[in-house]
């Protein structure tokens, strides 16, 4: 195909031939029979990759590795190289082996997580729950909190593995222990309601809601507001409840705003003012904690 006239190659690529699409991308990258333009190569590689063409996976990985037509991104390069290796491309296998030598364990876990997500969603590669789960578990065993939460989800729904509630709970607990905020909230909710076989423990639920709220989890702010409003697991304190609802509203929660408006009408102006001050403190603390978690 490398010897085809450009007009014929273009015709085949336009008709959807993945080998022609990849070859057209190569020609744009190096300037054979067309004006050299690496940026124009990328869409053709993507078209071929969407059809599962292994060489296109590798070429996209090389483009991101070298910054050829796209911005340099070691993470994206690793993901595309992994797709190529999984498809049996020798160059992809060699690139992944080299990447494993260059990356830290945390960087490799991040690559595995991103690749797993792509397999799960089917956005960049053909959907494959089995491969997604395999990679989630690799990243989870490297102590990536998000990967642990994803593994819990896959076990809960039976995606890529048989459904297993015990395994789901194990990985969710591990995610929470690693500080992944959404998992902390999910564990709090289960202790609150007594889900997945966990004994109901309102006090523990409240502590975990507070930790999740400090990490900016809006649902945790709403849960704490409800606890203080109802006096469930906390001393009845509608002013404190309003503080949490207002903080949730500040993060853009419609439910937080609705509950704050309703509760504000039942309190004195002085209580509302005090709650607004406290809400600002809660929000500022949550943003600070969230920034720390992201680092």
- Per-residue pLDDT of 157-170, as tens digits, reads 999 999 999 999 99
* Separation CA 45–CA 27 (nearest Å): 11
Note the pLDDT tens digit of each residue in 52-101.
999 999 999 999 999 999 999 999 999 999 999 999 999 999 999 999 99
Residue 271 half-sphere exposure, CB side, CA atoms within 13 Å? Answer: 13
Longest pairwise C-alpha distance within the chain: 82
Q: Is pLDDT of 154 > 50? A: yes
- Candidates 104, 199, 164; CA nearest to 151 is 164
Quote the tokens at residue 195. Answer: 């889900």
Q: Residue with structure tokens 């002085």?
A: 270
- End-to-end Cα spacing for the chain: 47
* Helix ranges restricted to H, 31-87: 38-50, 54-66, 74-86
* Separation CA 244–CA 260 (nearest Å): 9
pTM beyond cutoff 0.75: yes
What's the pLDDT score for residue 153? 97
Q: State the virtual CA torsion across 106, 109, 110, 113 in degrees, nearest 10.
A: -160
Helix (H) or strand (E) holding 259: helix 254-264
Q: Kindly write down the DSSP assignment for every residue of 161-189, as one continuous string.
A: S---HHHHHHHHHHHHHTT-HHHHHHHHH
* Separation CA 89–CA 54 (nearest Å): 6
* Separation CA 176–CA 190 (nearest Å): 12
* Average pLDDT, integer, range 174-199: 93
Quote the tokens at residue 48. Answer: 């071929």
């Amino acid at each position: 195909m490398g010897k085809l006239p450009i007009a014929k190659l273009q015709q085949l690529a336009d008709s959807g031939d993945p080998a022609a699409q990849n070859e057209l991308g190569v020609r744009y990258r190096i300037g054979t029979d067309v004006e050299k333009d690496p940026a124009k190569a990328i869409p053709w590689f993507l078209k071929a990759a969407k059809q599962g063409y292994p060489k296109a996976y590798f070429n996209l990985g090389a483009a991101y590795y070298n910054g050829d037509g796209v911005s340099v991104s070691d993470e994206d390069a690793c993901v595309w190289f992994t797709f190529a290796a999984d498809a049996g491309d020798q160059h992809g296998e060699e690139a992944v082996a080299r990447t494993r030598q260059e990356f830290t364990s945390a960087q490799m876990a991040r690559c595995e997580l991103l690749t797993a997500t792509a397999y799960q969603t089917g956005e960049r590669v053909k959907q494959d729950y089995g491969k997604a789960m395999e990679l989630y578990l690799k990243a989870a065993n490297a102590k990536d909190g998000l990967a642990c939460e994803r593994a819990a989800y896959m076990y809960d729904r039976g995606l890529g593995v048989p459904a297993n509630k015990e395994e789901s709970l194990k990985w969710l607990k591990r995610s929470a222990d690693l500080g992944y905020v959404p998992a902390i909230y999910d564990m709090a909710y289960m202790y609150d309601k007594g889900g997945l076989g966990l004994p109901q423990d309102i006090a523990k639920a409240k502590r975990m809601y507070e930790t999740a709220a400090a990490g900016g989890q809006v649902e945790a702010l709403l849960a704490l507001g409800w606890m203080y409003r109802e006096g469930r697991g906390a001393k009845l304190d509608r002013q404190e409840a309003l503080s949490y609802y207002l903080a949730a509203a500040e993060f853009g929660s419609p439910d937080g705003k609705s509950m704050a408006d309703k509760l504000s009408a039942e309190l004195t102006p002085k209580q509302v003012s005090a709650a607004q001050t406290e809400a600002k403190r809660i929000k500022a603390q949550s943003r600070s904690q969230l920034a720390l978690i992201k680092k």
